[in-house]
Amino acid sequence: MPAATAVTMALLVSRLDTSSSGEVFAVALGPLLAFGAVLLAGHVVDALAEPLRFVAEARMDGAHRAHIARLAAGSPTIGALERPEVQERVRLARADPDNWTERTPGQGALAQLGEFVRILGITASCLVLARYAWWLVPVVLLAAVAARSVGYRQGLAFIRLWLAGVSHGRRAHMWQEVLTQPAEAKEVRVFGFAEWGVQREQHHIHGMFDRAWAAGVRDLNRQWGRLALTVLGLAAAYVPVALDAAHGTTTVAVETAVFAAGWSVFTALDGLDWRNRLGALPVLQAARKLDEELGAPAAPAHAAPASRPEDAPLVRFEQVEFTYPGTERKVLDGLDLEIRPGELLAVVGLNGAGKSTLIKLLSSLYEPTAGRITADGTDIAEFGPAEWRRRISVVFQDFVRYHLTLSDNVTLGQADGTVPDLTRAEAAARDAGLDEVLARLPHGWDTPVARSRTGGVDLSGGQWQQVVLARALYAVRSGARLLVLDEPTAHLDVRTEFDVFSRLAAHRGSSSVVLISHRLSTVRQADRIVVLDGGRITESGTHEELMALGGSYAEMFAIQAERFGAGFDDRIEDGELE
């Protein structure tokens, strides 16, 4: 467009310069129409560019974010996701910029396309300059590149300075969340630290911006260098052409074309979108690293034999060891454990004994450091994580409260892609003791269980625990044959808990149940109880057998019985033990 504008403008000036006053209109009409057509084309391109940019950017970024979401959610285990460096890569690769230095892949790709188009425009303008004199091309181009390089270096230096303060910016954002969110509002007021929090926020804001503000002022003073290079470069081209036109060696039309083309070279180079291109590169680099770290391994060479859906498997831990990356302490050390088909097995132990780690290994969320876990004699790793997890259902102690409808919370959209079965969900709700809560909800299963949703309601900690228990039982009714419960009723009182477990034992069908609970009055209902201590099973038997043994289980039971006698029920209510 700039080259076409220069040529048509020169043609118009040439016709006006050589025509008599009587025939100006007739002579100038063609060039004038051509010049108008070029301006109109430029306007049309500008009008279409923004919506096209939005569509292309949205499609590319949407596909990229979907890929990152699948990559993170589809990672076979969670060990890599728990590493801080991977969490930072996920944050960066999500392409949701936290500050102006970060860009999305769509922005970077379109910036690169824009650079290519501008280079075409610069080439066309240089051809116009060369039509007058070849030496104009290096004179104008070198001056424009030099001026752009100065701005580029200043921009990179400012970005590096800005990024050095990003950690302060994140801390400022954290304090802003603390001071403005409803969840933290209670403690802000009760403990009276609002002003202290504001001061901390301001401290980090200044830590992020003060040096950037000072650098911005310095950069303003350094713009004189860029201006000098621009003036000198244009003067070196314009002055000789203007002198030639004044002496009649060339025409005013040529002078017009050179002036317009020379200026367009500077403006085109100055408009190269290097910030978007460079800002998108870290996103793509982070995504590439995540592909390497979270990508699913190759499928096993031989598919594992599948047991019949109605059968619970015989699961064995065989000399299993596990050590968290970056530590030397073995959480599990030569663990041998058998989970028999159809039994209710309770696992007890002190805090830090490795109970939750055992569950994550059983769920294929971690891989054993040594040893193996088998189902009916086959290593569960041979099933593949997705296939194995279709056979089990887990209620974690730190369960997630999804801001969705009750139906979605219980069925989770039916993981196998089929339509959720509300009849099955209602049966699971009865087994979990959730039916009374369901009856009081204004829209039944379609009620959002979050105040943040329109028409939503809040549930208590105990009611949420019934929701996640119904979620697990729904999975059992959908085919899972191993139910794992990690402190599933910690928010319930003893009487409600006893009722829930009685119904659970009655409705588990042929499924095996692994129960972890801090209340030993509950685990005494189990078919078998094992004590986990020092990364190994140290005691195993029924409640009566372990009490007769007089070991650590008997000691823990006696201590807890004494607490119950003193009026404590060991119920966790919103994170506190009563």
Give the residue-averaged pLDDT of 282-288.
Answer: 91
Read off the pLDDT band of 45 (50, 70, 90): confident
State the chain's mean pLDDT as an integer.
Answer: 83
User: Percent of the chain having pLDDT more than 70?
Assistant: 89
CA distance 325 to 353: 17
Give the residue-averaged pLDDT of 298-303.
Answer: 45
CA distance 387 to 374: 14
CA distance 292 to 360: 23
CA distance 518 to 521: 9
CA distance 177 to 183: 10
pTM of the model: 0.70
pLDDT in tens, 110-132: 999 988 988 898 898 888 888 88
CA distance 343 to 505: 10
Contact present, 299 and 327 (Cβ < 8 Å)? no
Please report the pLDDT score of residue 397 as a whole number.
Answer: 79
Q: Which residue has the higher pLDDT, 439 or 469?
A: 439
Taking 60 as the threshold, does the pLDDT of residue 5 lie above it? yes
Reference 26, options 11, 16, 37; nearest CA is: 16
pLDDT in tens, 521-554: 778 888 999 999 888 999 999 999 999 999 999 9
Residue with token string 């599990």: 332
Give the residue-averaged pLDDT of 194-201.
Answer: 90
Q: What are the chain's domains?
A: 2-294 (1.20.1560.10), 307-391+481-500+509-578 (3.40.50.300), 401-480 (3.40.50.300)
For residue 449, count CB atoms less than 10 angstroms from its CB and return exposed for 0-12, middle for 13-18, buried for 19 or more: buried
Taking 80 as the threshold, does the pLDDT of residue 206 lie above it? yes
Please report the pLDDT score of residue 345 as a whole number.
Answer: 93
Read off the pLDDT band of 298 (50, 70, 90): very low
Please report the pLDDT score of residue 305 as a whole number.
Answer: 46
Taking 80 as the threshold, does the pLDDT of residue 163 lie above it? no
Please report the pLDDT score of residue 52 as a whole number.
Answer: 93
Provide the b/e sequence for 29-50 (b: ≥16 CB within 10 Å): eebbebbeebeeeeeeeeeeee
Contact present, 125 and 186 (Cβ < 8 Å)? no
pLDDT in tens, 224-271: 777 888 888 888 888 888 888 888 888 888 888 888 888 888 888 887
CA dihedral 377, 382, 386, 388 (to 10 degrees): 0
Please report the pLDDT score of residue 337 as a whole number.
Answer: 94
Read off the pLDDT band of 308 (50, 70, 90): very low
CA atoms within 13 A on the CB side of 177: 7
